Structure 1
Amino acid sequence: MYRINGFSTLIVLATLLMASTPSWALRSDRNQPINIKADRVEINEKTETSHYQGNVYLKQGSLIINADSIMVYLKEGKLIKIIIDGSPATFEQKPEDNKDVVQSSAQHMEYYATRQLLILKQDARIIQGANNFSGDFIEYDTLNSTVKANKDENSDSRVHAIIQPKKDTAEDNDAPNSTPIDSKSDAKSTPPANPEKETPTE
Protein backbone atom coordinates (compact mmCIF):
# COMPACT_ATOMS: atom_id res chain seq x y z
CA MET A 1 0.00 0.00 0.00
CA TYR A 2 1.25 3.44 -0.90
CA ARG A 3 0.54 6.63 1.04
CA ILE A 4 1.09 10.08 -0.43
CA ASN A 5 0.61 13.05 1.87
CA GLY A 6 0.46 16.78 1.22
CA PHE A 7 -1.80 18.97 -0.89
CA SER A 8 -0.40 18.20 -4.32
CA THR A 9 -1.43 17.25 -7.83
CA LEU A 10 -1.73 13.46 -8.07
CA ILE A 11 -0.93 12.21 -11.55
CA VAL A 12 -1.40 8.61 -10.44
CA LEU A 13 -5.20 8.87 -10.68
CA ALA A 14 -5.04 9.90 -14.33
CA THR A 15 -4.53 6.36 -15.60
CA LEU A 16 -7.38 5.11 -13.41
CA LEU A 17 -9.92 7.66 -14.60
CA MET A 18 -9.15 7.95 -18.30
CA ALA A 19 -11.77 5.29 -19.07
CA SER A 20 -14.31 6.72 -16.64
CA THR A 21 -15.43 9.77 -18.63
CA PRO A 22 -19.22 9.33 -18.90
CA SER A 23 -21.01 9.08 -22.24
CA TRP A 24 -22.83 12.37 -21.62
CA ALA A 25 -19.55 14.28 -21.37
CA LEU A 26 -17.95 16.40 -24.03
CA ARG A 27 -15.79 14.25 -26.26
CA SER A 28 -13.00 16.78 -25.91
CA ASP A 29 -12.89 16.12 -22.14
CA ARG A 30 -11.27 12.74 -22.75
CA ASN A 31 -8.28 14.43 -24.34
CA GLN A 32 -7.79 16.95 -21.55
CA PRO A 33 -5.22 16.46 -18.77
CA ILE A 34 -6.57 15.31 -15.40
CA ASN A 35 -5.66 17.59 -12.50
CA ILE A 36 -6.20 16.11 -9.02
CA LYS A 37 -5.44 17.64 -5.65
CA ALA A 38 -5.91 16.05 -2.23
CA ASP A 39 -4.43 16.08 1.26
CA ARG A 40 -3.53 12.39 1.08
CA VAL A 41 -4.02 9.24 -0.98
CA GLU A 42 -3.76 5.51 -0.33
CA ILE A 43 -3.29 3.09 -3.23
CA ASN A 44 -3.61 -0.68 -2.80
CA GLU A 45 -2.36 -2.55 -5.86
CA LYS A 46 -3.56 -5.90 -4.51
CA THR A 47 -7.20 -4.84 -4.16
CA GLU A 48 -6.95 -2.37 -7.07
CA THR A 49 -8.35 0.47 -5.01
CA SER A 50 -7.23 4.04 -4.44
CA HIS A 51 -8.56 6.38 -1.76
CA TYR A 52 -8.18 10.17 -2.03
CA GLN A 53 -9.02 12.15 1.11
CA GLY A 54 -9.15 15.74 2.28
CA ASN A 55 -10.22 18.65 0.08
CA VAL A 56 -10.26 16.47 -3.01
CA TYR A 57 -10.42 18.43 -6.26
CA LEU A 58 -10.55 16.81 -9.69
CA LYS A 59 -10.75 18.59 -13.02
CA GLN A 60 -10.66 17.24 -16.57
CA GLY A 61 -11.92 19.62 -19.22
CA SER A 62 -15.46 20.60 -18.23
CA LEU A 63 -15.58 17.90 -15.51
CA ILE A 64 -15.08 19.26 -11.99
CA ILE A 65 -15.48 17.24 -8.76
CA ASN A 66 -15.12 18.63 -5.24
CA ALA A 67 -15.34 16.15 -2.37
CA ASP A 68 -14.03 15.14 1.04
CA SER A 69 -13.28 11.64 -0.24
CA ILE A 70 -13.05 9.80 -3.56
CA MET A 71 -12.67 6.00 -3.65
CA VAL A 72 -11.80 4.34 -6.97
CA TYR A 73 -12.37 0.61 -7.58
CA LEU A 74 -10.77 -1.30 -10.46
CA LYS A 75 -10.95 -4.90 -11.63
CA GLU A 76 -8.17 -6.23 -13.83
CA GLY A 77 -7.17 -2.65 -14.55
CA LYS A 78 -10.65 -1.54 -15.64
CA LEU A 79 -12.77 0.96 -13.76
CA ILE A 80 -15.71 -0.58 -11.88
CA LYS A 81 -17.03 2.22 -9.72
CA ILE A 82 -16.22 5.51 -8.02
CA ILE A 83 -17.53 6.43 -4.56
CA ILE A 84 -17.66 10.16 -3.77
CA ASP A 85 -18.45 11.63 -0.34
CA GLY A 86 -18.68 15.24 0.80
CA SER A 87 -20.68 17.79 2.71
CA PRO A 88 -21.88 17.97 0.08
CA ALA A 89 -19.82 16.57 -2.77
CA THR A 90 -20.33 18.35 -6.09
CA PHE A 91 -20.03 17.01 -9.62
CA GLU A 92 -20.45 19.09 -12.75
CA GLN A 93 -19.83 18.54 -16.45
CA LYS A 94 -20.91 19.98 -19.78
CA PRO A 95 -22.62 17.27 -21.89
CA GLU A 96 -22.38 18.94 -25.30
CA ASP A 97 -21.35 22.26 -26.78
CA ASN A 98 -24.97 23.37 -27.19
CA LYS A 99 -26.20 22.02 -23.82
CA ASP A 100 -26.21 23.53 -20.33
CA VAL A 101 -23.79 22.26 -17.71
CA VAL A 102 -25.12 19.37 -15.58
CA GLN A 103 -24.57 20.20 -11.90
CA SER A 104 -25.15 17.60 -9.22
CA SER A 105 -24.58 17.54 -5.47
CA ALA A 106 -25.18 15.08 -2.63
CA GLN A 107 -23.66 13.82 0.58
CA HIS A 108 -22.88 10.53 -1.16
CA MET A 109 -22.43 9.66 -4.86
CA GLU A 110 -21.77 6.38 -6.65
CA TYR A 111 -20.77 6.09 -10.30
CA TYR A 112 -20.91 2.64 -11.96
CA ALA A 113 -18.81 2.67 -15.11
CA THR A 114 -20.24 -0.38 -16.91
CA ARG A 115 -23.86 0.79 -16.59
CA GLN A 116 -22.86 4.46 -16.79
CA LEU A 117 -25.11 5.03 -13.80
CA LEU A 118 -24.74 7.90 -11.32
CA ILE A 119 -26.50 7.50 -7.96
CA LEU A 120 -26.89 10.41 -5.54
CA LYS A 121 -27.94 9.93 -1.90
CA GLN A 122 -28.83 12.38 0.90
CA ASP A 123 -29.71 15.93 -0.10
CA ALA A 124 -29.40 14.91 -3.74
CA ARG A 125 -29.85 17.47 -6.49
CA ILE A 126 -29.34 17.61 -10.25
CA ILE A 127 -29.59 20.91 -12.13
CA GLN A 128 -29.31 21.54 -15.86
CA GLY A 129 -30.30 25.00 -16.99
CA ALA A 130 -33.79 25.72 -15.65
CA ASN A 131 -34.49 22.02 -14.95
CA ASN A 132 -34.06 20.99 -11.32
CA PHE A 133 -34.48 17.61 -9.57
CA SER A 134 -34.07 17.15 -5.82
CA GLY A 135 -34.77 14.35 -3.37
CA ASP A 136 -33.21 11.94 -0.89
CA PHE A 137 -32.24 9.57 -3.70
CA ILE A 138 -31.62 10.29 -7.39
CA GLU A 139 -30.62 7.76 -10.02
CA TYR A 140 -29.23 9.28 -13.21
CA ASP A 141 -28.93 6.82 -16.11
CA THR A 142 -26.48 8.69 -18.32
CA LEU A 143 -26.65 6.06 -21.05
CA ASN A 144 -30.39 6.46 -21.60
CA SER A 145 -30.67 10.05 -20.29
CA THR A 146 -33.27 9.17 -17.63
CA VAL A 147 -33.64 10.44 -14.06
CA LYS A 148 -35.39 8.66 -11.17
CA ALA A 149 -35.91 10.42 -7.84
CA ASN A 150 -37.28 8.98 -4.59
CA LYS A 151 -37.63 10.04 -0.97
CA ASP A 152 -36.23 8.16 1.98
CA GLU A 153 -38.77 5.95 3.75
CA ASN A 154 -37.94 7.60 7.08
CA SER A 155 -38.05 11.13 5.69
CA ASP A 156 -40.96 13.54 5.42
CA SER A 157 -39.41 15.34 2.47
CA ARG A 158 -40.81 14.85 -1.01
CA VAL A 159 -39.28 14.71 -4.45
CA HIS A 160 -39.22 18.10 -6.14
CA ALA A 161 -38.88 18.57 -9.89
CA ILE A 162 -38.89 21.75 -11.97
CA ILE A 163 -38.99 21.14 -15.72
CA GLN A 164 -39.09 24.05 -18.12
CA PRO A 165 -40.86 23.58 -21.48
CA LYS A 166 -38.84 23.92 -24.62
CA LYS A 167 -39.17 27.22 -26.39
CA ASP A 168 -40.68 27.31 -29.86
CA THR A 169 -38.12 27.81 -32.55
CA ALA A 170 -38.33 30.68 -35.00
CA GLU A 171 -38.94 28.21 -37.81
CA ASP A 172 -41.96 26.78 -35.98
CA ASN A 173 -43.41 30.24 -35.39
CA ASP A 174 -42.93 31.32 -38.98
CA ALA A 175 -44.25 28.13 -40.52
CA PRO A 176 -47.49 28.75 -42.49
CA ASN A 177 -50.63 26.84 -41.61
CA SER A 178 -51.24 25.75 -45.20
CA THR A 179 -49.28 25.43 -48.40
CA PRO A 180 -50.04 28.25 -50.86
CA ILE A 181 -51.30 27.29 -54.24
CA ASP A 182 -49.40 28.47 -57.28
CA SER A 183 -52.07 29.31 -59.83
CA LYS A 184 -49.57 29.50 -62.66
CA SER A 185 -48.18 26.05 -62.07
CA ASP A 186 -51.71 24.63 -61.82
CA ALA A 187 -52.66 26.18 -65.11
CA LYS A 188 -49.70 24.56 -66.79
CA SER A 189 -50.44 21.21 -65.29
CA THR A 190 -53.83 21.01 -67.06
CA PRO A 191 -53.38 20.84 -70.83
CA PRO A 192 -55.88 22.87 -72.88
CA ALA A 193 -58.48 20.99 -74.92
CA ASN A 194 -57.81 20.76 -78.66
CA PRO A 195 -60.51 22.75 -80.49
CA GLU A 196 -62.22 20.95 -83.34
CA LYS A 197 -61.38 22.35 -86.74
CA GLU A 198 -64.38 23.86 -88.53
CA THR A 199 -65.15 22.34 -91.90
CA PRO A 200 -65.16 25.09 -94.47
CA THR A 201 -68.41 25.45 -96.37
CA GLU A 202 -68.49 25.78 -100.08
Structure 2
Amino acid sequence: MKLRSFFPLLCGLWLGLAMPAAQAERADRDKPMNIEADALRHDEVQQTSVFTGRVVVTKGSIVLRGERMEVRQDPEGYQSGVVTAESGKRAFFRQKRDTPAGAPEEFVEGEAERIEYDGRGEKVRLIRRAELRRYRAAALSDEITGARIVYDSGADVFTVDGAPQGSKGGGQGRVRAVLSPKEAPAGGAAPAAPAPAPALRPSTELGTGGVQR
Protein backbone atom coordinates (compact mmCIF):
# COMPACT_ATOMS: atom_id res chain seq x y z
CA MET A 1 0.00 0.00 0.00
CA LYS A 2 1.25 3.49 -0.81
CA LEU A 3 1.29 6.27 1.74
CA ARG A 4 -0.41 9.53 0.72
CA SER A 5 0.62 12.61 2.69
CA PHE A 6 -0.35 16.27 2.42
CA PHE A 7 1.84 19.01 3.89
CA PRO A 8 1.13 22.68 4.57
CA LEU A 9 2.24 25.80 2.72
CA LEU A 10 6.02 26.20 2.27
CA CYS A 11 6.67 22.88 3.95
CA GLY A 12 10.18 21.46 3.44
CA LEU A 13 9.95 17.79 2.52
CA TRP A 14 13.27 16.09 3.27
CA LEU A 15 13.50 12.71 1.59
CA GLY A 16 17.10 11.84 2.29
CA LEU A 17 15.94 9.11 4.65
CA ALA A 18 13.03 8.02 2.47
CA MET A 19 15.37 7.33 -0.46
CA PRO A 20 18.53 5.82 1.06
CA ALA A 21 21.58 4.10 -0.41
CA ALA A 22 21.60 6.00 -3.71
CA GLN A 23 22.82 9.34 -4.98
CA ALA A 24 22.92 11.08 -8.33
CA GLU A 25 25.38 9.70 -10.85
CA ARG A 26 28.66 11.15 -9.56
CA ALA A 27 30.38 11.24 -12.96
CA ASP A 28 27.75 13.52 -14.55
CA ARG A 29 29.36 16.78 -13.43
CA ASP A 30 32.56 15.96 -15.35
CA LYS A 31 30.84 15.00 -18.61
CA PRO A 32 30.51 17.41 -21.57
CA MET A 33 27.14 19.07 -22.17
CA ASN A 34 25.68 18.14 -25.58
CA ILE A 35 22.81 20.29 -26.89
CA GLU A 36 20.54 20.03 -29.91
CA ALA A 37 18.09 22.78 -30.93
CA ASP A 38 16.59 24.57 -33.92
CA ALA A 39 18.62 27.75 -33.35
CA LEU A 40 21.55 29.08 -31.29
CA ARG A 41 22.74 32.53 -30.27
CA HIS A 42 26.16 32.63 -28.55
CA ASP A 43 27.69 35.60 -26.73
CA GLU A 44 31.43 35.03 -26.31
CA VAL A 45 31.95 38.06 -24.05
CA GLN A 46 29.20 37.07 -21.60
CA GLN A 47 29.92 33.35 -22.02
CA THR A 48 26.24 32.63 -22.62
CA SER A 49 24.49 30.54 -25.24
CA VAL A 50 20.74 30.64 -25.93
CA PHE A 51 19.22 27.61 -27.66
CA THR A 52 15.65 27.73 -28.96
CA GLY A 53 13.27 25.25 -30.55
CA ARG A 54 12.92 21.63 -29.39
CA VAL A 55 15.98 21.79 -27.15
CA VAL A 56 17.49 18.47 -26.00
CA VAL A 57 20.42 18.46 -23.56
CA THR A 58 22.48 15.46 -22.43
CA LYS A 59 25.29 15.52 -19.86
CA GLY A 60 26.29 12.05 -18.76
CA SER A 61 23.07 10.45 -17.50
CA ILE A 62 21.33 13.86 -17.27
CA VAL A 63 18.68 14.67 -19.87
CA LEU A 64 16.93 18.06 -20.16
CA ARG A 65 14.24 18.96 -22.69
CA GLY A 66 12.33 22.18 -23.33
CA GLU A 67 11.56 24.94 -25.81
CA ARG A 68 14.38 27.28 -24.77
CA MET A 69 17.59 26.97 -22.78
CA GLU A 70 20.12 29.57 -21.71
CA VAL A 71 23.51 28.10 -20.80
CA ARG A 72 26.25 29.86 -18.84
CA GLN A 73 29.77 28.80 -17.94
CA ASP A 74 31.69 30.41 -15.09
CA PRO A 75 35.46 31.09 -15.14
CA GLU A 76 36.10 27.78 -13.38
CA GLY A 77 34.29 25.82 -16.07
CA TYR A 78 31.09 24.97 -14.18
CA GLN A 79 28.00 24.96 -16.39
CA SER A 80 24.50 26.08 -15.47
CA GLY A 81 21.35 26.41 -17.51
CA VAL A 82 17.74 27.51 -17.42
CA VAL A 83 15.25 25.48 -19.44
CA THR A 84 11.78 26.86 -20.13
CA ALA A 85 8.84 25.06 -21.69
CA GLU A 86 6.56 25.99 -24.52
CA SER A 87 3.44 27.84 -23.37
CA GLY A 88 1.06 25.47 -21.60
CA LYS A 89 3.62 22.67 -21.38
CA ARG A 90 6.39 21.62 -19.01
CA ALA A 91 10.13 21.12 -19.45
CA PHE A 92 11.64 17.72 -18.57
CA PHE A 93 14.57 16.50 -16.44
CA ARG A 94 15.99 13.00 -15.89
CA GLN A 95 19.08 11.67 -14.08
CA LYS A 96 20.39 8.26 -13.10
CA ARG A 97 21.22 7.64 -9.45
CA ASP A 98 24.24 5.74 -8.15
CA THR A 99 23.17 2.47 -6.56
CA PRO A 100 25.10 -0.31 -4.81
CA ALA A 101 26.45 -3.15 -6.94
CA GLY A 102 23.71 -5.62 -7.80
CA ALA A 103 20.89 -3.25 -6.86
CA PRO A 104 18.20 -2.30 -9.42
CA GLU A 105 18.80 0.87 -11.44
CA GLU A 106 17.15 4.05 -10.18
CA PHE A 107 16.24 7.23 -12.06
CA VAL A 108 14.83 10.58 -10.98
CA GLU A 109 12.53 12.40 -13.40
CA GLY A 110 11.03 15.86 -13.10
CA GLU A 111 8.74 18.24 -14.97
CA ALA A 112 8.04 21.95 -14.49
CA GLU A 113 7.43 25.10 -16.50
CA ARG A 114 10.98 26.22 -15.66
CA ILE A 115 13.97 24.03 -14.76
CA GLU A 116 17.23 25.50 -13.44
CA TYR A 117 20.35 23.33 -13.55
CA ASP A 118 23.28 24.34 -11.30
CA GLY A 119 26.40 22.36 -12.18
CA ARG A 120 28.53 23.86 -9.42
CA GLY A 121 26.05 23.19 -6.63
CA GLU A 122 24.76 19.93 -8.19
CA LYS A 123 21.19 21.16 -7.81
CA VAL A 124 18.14 21.13 -10.04
CA ARG A 125 15.24 23.51 -9.33
CA LEU A 126 11.80 22.74 -10.73
CA ILE A 127 9.61 25.85 -10.70
CA ARG A 128 5.83 26.14 -11.28
CA ARG A 129 3.66 23.02 -11.65
CA ALA A 130 6.64 21.01 -10.44
CA GLU A 131 6.63 17.24 -10.24
CA LEU A 132 9.42 14.83 -9.32
CA ARG A 133 9.31 11.04 -9.66
CA ARG A 134 11.68 8.24 -8.66
CA TYR A 135 11.78 5.01 -10.67
CA ARG A 136 13.29 1.82 -9.32
CA ALA A 137 13.84 -1.02 -11.83
CA ALA A 138 11.64 0.92 -14.31
CA ALA A 139 8.71 0.95 -11.85
CA LEU A 140 7.39 4.17 -10.32
CA SER A 141 8.38 4.22 -6.65
CA ASP A 142 7.86 7.76 -5.29
CA GLU A 143 6.19 10.91 -6.59
CA ILE A 144 6.03 14.46 -5.20
CA THR A 145 4.37 17.61 -6.55
CA GLY A 146 4.45 21.25 -5.50
CA ALA A 147 5.01 24.77 -6.74
CA ARG A 148 8.80 24.53 -6.38
CA ILE A 149 11.05 21.50 -5.92
CA VAL A 150 14.80 21.63 -5.31
CA TYR A 151 16.75 18.41 -5.90
CA ASP A 152 20.18 18.55 -4.28
CA SER A 153 21.82 15.56 -5.96
CA GLY A 154 25.09 15.97 -4.04
CA ALA A 155 23.40 15.69 -0.64
CA ASP A 156 20.56 13.49 -1.96
CA VAL A 157 17.91 15.79 -0.50
CA PHE A 158 14.61 16.96 -1.98
CA THR A 159 12.92 20.15 -0.75
CA VAL A 160 9.35 20.93 -1.81
CA ASP A 161 7.39 24.17 -1.35
CA GLY A 162 3.68 24.70 -1.74
CA ALA A 163 2.21 27.80 -3.39
CA PRO A 164 0.23 30.66 -1.82
CA GLN A 165 -3.48 30.07 -1.61
CA GLY A 166 -5.28 31.18 -4.74
CA SER A 167 -2.15 31.47 -6.89
CA LYS A 168 -2.26 30.25 -10.49
CA GLY A 169 -1.53 26.53 -10.64
CA GLY A 170 -0.68 26.52 -6.96
CA GLY A 171 -2.52 23.37 -6.01
CA GLN A 172 -4.32 25.14 -3.14
CA GLY A 173 -1.09 25.81 -1.29
CA ARG A 174 -0.37 22.15 -0.64
CA VAL A 175 2.46 19.71 -1.30
CA ARG A 176 1.46 16.22 -2.35
CA ALA A 177 3.59 13.10 -1.96
CA VAL A 178 3.12 9.41 -2.75
CA LEU A 179 5.90 7.37 -1.11
CA SER A 180 6.31 3.62 -1.48
CA PRO A 181 7.17 1.59 1.63
CA LYS A 182 10.87 0.93 2.10
CA GLU A 183 11.81 -2.54 0.94
CA ALA A 184 13.55 -4.97 3.26
CA PRO A 185 17.28 -5.31 2.46
CA ALA A 186 18.34 -8.31 0.42
CA GLY A 187 19.52 -11.26 2.48
CA GLY A 188 17.70 -10.06 5.56
CA ALA A 189 16.78 -12.41 8.37
CA ALA A 190 13.88 -14.75 7.66
CA PRO A 191 10.75 -14.33 9.76
CA ALA A 192 10.82 -16.29 12.99
CA ALA A 193 9.14 -19.69 12.84
CA PRO A 194 5.97 -20.10 14.92
CA ALA A 195 6.42 -21.72 18.32
CA PRO A 196 5.77 -25.50 18.27
CA ALA A 197 2.45 -26.69 19.65
CA PRO A 198 2.66 -28.22 23.18
CA ALA A 199 3.00 -32.01 23.27
CA LEU A 200 -0.14 -34.02 24.17
CA ARG A 201 -0.03 -35.88 27.45
CA PRO A 202 -2.32 -38.73 28.57
CA SER A 203 -4.87 -37.74 31.17
CA THR A 204 -5.03 -39.58 34.52
CA GLU A 205 -8.57 -38.33 35.15
CA LEU A 206 -10.32 -40.24 32.35
CA GLY A 207 -11.99 -43.50 33.00
CA THR A 208 -12.66 -46.09 30.36
CA GLY A 209 -15.07 -44.62 27.87
CA GLY A 210 -15.39 -41.51 30.05
CA VAL A 211 -15.36 -37.91 28.85
CA GLN A 212 -13.26 -35.23 30.55
CA ARG A 213 -15.29 -32.25 31.83
Structure 2 match to 1:117 = 123
Structure 2 match to 1:161 = 177
Structure 2 match to 1:83 = 82
Larger Rg: 1
Higher relative contact order (CA 8 A, sep 6+): 2
The one-letter code sitting in structure 2 at the alignment partner of 1:122 is R
| Residue 117 (structure 1) shift | 1.6
Q: Distance in 2 between matches of 1:172 and 1:75?
A: 48
Q: Are the counterparts in 1 of residues 25 and 98 from structure 2 also a CA contact under 8 Å?
A: yes
Change (3 A) 1:122 1:28: closer
Q: Helix, strand or coil for the counterpart of 1:27?
A: helix
| Residue 169 (structure 1) shift | 3.4
Change (3 A) 1:51 1:164: same
Structure 1 match to 2:144 = 133
Q: Which runs of 5+ in 1 are unaligned?
A: 1-22, 178-202
The one-letter code sitting in structure 1 at the alignment partner of 2:97 is P
Q: Distance in 1 between matches of 2:143 and 2:91?
A: 17
Q: Which runs of 5+ in 2 are unaligned?
A: 1-22, 136-140, 194-213
| Residue 109 (structure 1) shift | 1.0
Change (3 A) 1:38 1:104: same
| Residue 141 (structure 1) shift | 1.2
Structure 1 match to 2:160 = 149
Please give the root-mean-square deviation of Cα atoms over the aligned residues, in Å: 2.5
Change (3 A) 1:34 1:170: closer
Q: Distance in 2 between matches of 1:34 and 1:112?
A: 13
**Does residue 72 in structure 1 map to residue 83 in structure 2?**
no
Q: TM-score, normalised by structure 2?
A: 0.64
Change (3 A) 1:115 1:30: closer
Q: Distance in 1 between matches of 2:80 and 2:36?
A: 20
Q: Distance in 1 between matches of 2:37 and 2:57?
A: 9
Q: Distance in 2 between matches of 1:61 and 1:80?
A: 13
Select between 69-78 and 81-90 the one with higher mean Cα deviation: 69-78
Stretches of 4+ aligned residues off by more than 4 angstroms: 28-31
Q: Percent identity?
A: 21
Q: Which has the higher helix share?
A: 1
Q: Distance in 1 between matches of 2:160 and 2:48?
A: 29
Change (3 A) 1:141 1:35: closer
Q: How does 1:1-202 map to 2 (within 5 A)?
A: 24-25=24-25, 27=27, 35-76=34-75, 78-86=77-85, 87-96=89-98, 98-129=104-135, 130-153=141-164, 154=167, 155=170, 156-174=172-190
